[in-house]
Amino acid sequence: MTFAVVPVKALSDSKTRLVAHLDRPRVERLSSAMMGDVLEALRGVAALREIAVVTPDSEVARAAERDGARVLMRDDPGLNASIEAACHEVSTSADCAALVVLGDVAAAASHELAQLVDALPEPGVALAPSTDGGTSALLRSPFDAIPARFGRDSAKRHREESAGAGLPYHELALPSLALDIDVAEDLASAARSPSLGPRTRALLAEFGALEQP
């Protein structure tokens, strides 16, 4: 069994580096839209048996439930701790595989997520890096094969954890998973992505990001 976990911060704490460019209400709307697009992309991956959102935010939880995701409401102990707790809760056996996708990878395409899942037929680790050296999506088989090391330079840290554990490691450069939206410059880049999800695209059009060069 392979399941997916999408960690999402409280809306009031989301995307702090965008607040100087967009006001807080618009940042929160954007965060919700991006999560919705990520969940839609995950629903298109046939190999996934369950999709869960872990969040401390009741508004995020309600939106995720409307999109058909299982919701794990818990206080936020930090990104990696939240991911690990969610994976342990969702797993039904020790050999389950877990796909972790960040909630701001709004251009994620179902066929590329499926490609990442298919890259790991045996125990090991598969990863889709972001353009800034982070990790947009991480597949671990079993779900606790290596620790989650999301954050700055996380692709490098996940690579090192896999090597240290002696596990097969596959890194796939997947265009739709390369960009997570963190700063103002990412808005225009996302708007140019052909796979950008419809909810995020509609908001960026409303915000004027589609008009940026």
pLDDT tens-place string over residues 109-147: 999 999 999 998 889 999 999 999 999 999 999 999 999
Q: Model's pTM, two decimal places?
A: 0.94
Radius of gyration, alpha carbons of the chain: 16
- Other C-beta atoms closer than 10 Å to the C-beta of 118 total 13
| For range 191-208, the mean pLDDT | 92
* DSSP output for 138-160: EEEESTTSS----STTHHHHHHH
Instruction: Name the least confident of 14-28, 31-45, 97-111, 199-213.
Output: 199-213
pLDDT tens-place string over residues 183-193: 888 888 888 89
pLDDT tens-place string over residues 34-93: 999 999 999 999 999 999 999 999 999 999 999 999 999 999 889 999 999 999 999 999
Nearest to 120 by CA among 148, 101, 142: 142
Homologous superfamily of the 2-201 domain (CATH): Spore Coat Polysaccharide Biosynthesis Protein SpsA; Chain A (3.90.550.10)
Domain boundaries, the chain: 2-201
Q: Is residue 213's pLDDT more than 50?
A: no
What is the spatial distance between Cα 178 and Cα 171, in angstroms, rounded to a whole number? 12
